[in-house]
Amino acid sequence: MKDFYSHSNWVEIGNKFPYSNLIRGNAHIGNIAAKTRATCRSCSGDDCRNNILKDILDNKILTSAYFSLNPFSKPSG
């Protein structure tokens, strides 16, 4: 479960406590980004600070990260 907090914007959208719905089988997860919605801007070299789009943060839309060994395989959105 710690991967959720490491690889999502949970803290950036203002949450301060663990998300109890993650341990409930059929619980509603919340306001999540649509698969086709852009959520961040490209990093500047190795610097990815502050790359989550302002409207994502303002609307408290939950996003998660992805990992790829190929930096040119970033999915759309």
**Where does the pLDDT of residue 62 fall: very low under 50, low under 70, confident under 90, or very high at 90 and above?**
very high
Alpha-carbon distance values, 58 to 6, 33, 62, 72, 76 (Å): 20, 13, 11, 28, 21
What b/e string do you get for 15-47 counting C-beta neighbours within 10 Å, with b at 16 or more?
Answer: eeeebeeeeeeeeeeeeebeeeeebbeeeeeee
Over range 44-52, report the average pLDDT.
83
Give the tens place of pLDDT for each residue, 5-36.
888 898 899 999 988 888 888 888 889 999 88
**Cβ pair 13, 60 in contact under 8 A:** yes
For residue 32, which phi and psi values (nearest 5 degrees)?
-105, 150
In the predicted model, is pLDDT for residue 60 greater than 90?
A: yes
